[in-house]
Structure 1
Amino acid sequence: MTALSDAANPATAANPVNVASHRIADSLRHEILGGQLAPGTRIRQEDLAERFGASRIPVREAIRMLHADGLITMVANSGAWVSRLTLAECVEVYSIRERLEPLLLRMSMPNLSAETIDHLDALADGMAANTDVDYFVEHDRELHLSSYSGAPRGALWDIIHRLWNTTQHYRRAYATLVGVEGIGVTHMEHHLLVDCIRRQDPDDAERMLVTHIRRTRLELERHPELFA
């Protein structure tokens, strides 16, 4: 899911406005996904222009890109905010993920290299051995999105990437609430999922992934205070 850098992307390298908009978008994306900008935070164009030493044009383009990624919500004639979900909306997103992600995983599995699968194993081991919540949130995301990396980058991939973006804050809030020690079953599920992938058993992998996503949804439903 890593975007091309400005230097590696001829389209952005040739256009200073694109270079600036990607730089601004990358910085804000990192802050939103990293938890520095909480859901509901107002995004003001004039503040961003001053902060990044840029005109309003690349700032508006950066906001548009983050809106397309599901990280920012834009309201006509009102402004832009870091996207937030109600509990009902989050439950709906997880219900959609339960149905779509197993399909993307099935499409991806035949194209995953042995090196990629070894990397998934290493990510699962690393999370199980680390008690830092931010480490868990970052590497949990990497494990799942890496497991889909063998699938074509089409509409399904884009939808799932957006859904992951919109729920990132709530995964972090839940992990912080219960502590990494409180989600030990997640580590077991990660290892079982990687085992299914290594065995190239898409049926087992789909069942494991549905169980994994559903359990997180049910746990989030038990904590409505995370959405207050």
Structure 2
Amino acid sequence: MAFAAPAPIPSRTQYVLDAIKHGILTGQLVPGQALVETELAARFGVSKTPVREALKTLAGTGLVVMSQYKGVTVREVDAAMAHQVYDVRLLLEPEALRRTIARQASLDVAADALVRADEAEDNAERSLANREFHRALYVPCGNPLLSRMLDEVRDQAALVSAVVWGAIPSWEREATEHREILRLARAGDADGAARALHDHIASFVHRAFPAQEDAV
């Protein structure tokens, strides 16, 4: 029995979806902020239908919360949420990188992302470049399902980063760690790169939420 491919998202809905997601992941729309359909429709020059569909999709990715009483809001970030998201990354991302290295896949995209992060003029650009760096490490792993699983938590991880960077601007330390991960990966040291990546992910969430270090 053949399964039908999912229907493509209409262009107006995709436009609104991308714009809202960008606002959330760059900190322009902050956790807890209400997302009112009529206001967003007027802002983007569309009807409420594409806004409603975009918000439903964002709720499915965990970036917004839909409540019968509060309406739609940007998802709040707390220690429990952050540790759940980063626990998934700790379990999957180092193994994906190990497989990427074993396949001798190109890491040029990751290197380019590091350059963009270094040259970023603000946290928004830096955050987007860092997301691309991490994704470029796991996408070539050879297992599309593993890549999709990591993609599913990618936006939530970026939301955590945006919130944490607002309080703890630690991107210089993380940039140094990124360069070391890439160096080990390009040298073919799969175990070393995987350990460095694991430590990088773990140290970030532990610095941000030190009281919850033993929760994962």
Instruction: Output the TM-score relative to the length of structure 1.
Output: 0.75
1:124 maps to: 114
| Gap change, CA 1:55 and 1:130, over 3 Å in 2 | closer
Instruction: State the alpha-carbon separation in 2 of the partners of residues 219 and 78 from structure 1.
Output: 31
Contact 1:42 1:82 in 2 (8 A): yes
Structure 2 residue 20 is matched with structure 1 residue 28: yes
Paired residue type of 1:42: A
Contact 2:55 2:64 in 1 (8 A): yes
Instruction: State the alpha-carbon separation in 2 of the partners of residues 38 and 153 from structure 1.
Output: 34
Instruction: State the alpha-carbon separation in 1 of the partners of residues 45 and 189 from structure 2.
Output: 52
Structure 2 residue 160 is matched with structure 1 residue 170: yes
State how 1:82-121 maps to structure 2 within 5 Å.
82-109=74-101, 110=103, 112-113=105-106, 117-121=107-111
Q: Extract unaligned runs of 5+ from structure 2.
A: 1-6
Contact 1:111 1:150 in 2 (8 A): no
Instruction: Output the TM-score relative to the length of structure 2.
Output: 0.79
Deviations 1:130-186 (A, max 9, x none): 67433432221121111122145744333322323123233234334343xx55432
Shift of 1:223: 8.5
Q: Aligned pair count?
A: 205
1:199 maps to: 187
1:5 maps to: none
Shift of 1:104: 2.4
State how 1:132-147 maps to structure 2 within 5 Å.
132-147=122-137
Structure 2 residue 148 is matched with structure 1 residue 158: yes
Paired residue type of 2:202: R
Shift of 1:38: 0.5
User: Secondary structure in 1 aligned to 2:139?
Assistant: coil
Paired residue type of 2:179: H
Q: Extract unaligned runs of 5+ from structure 1.
A: 1-10
Paired residue type of 1:186: E
1:60 maps to: 52
Range with greater deviation from structure 2 (67-76 or 207-216): 67-76
Instruction: State the alpha-carbon separation in 1 of the partners of residues 50 and 117 from structure 2.
Output: 37
Paired residue type of 2:108: D
Pairwise CA RMSD:
2.8
| Gap change, CA 1:53 and 1:132, over 3 Å in 2 | closer
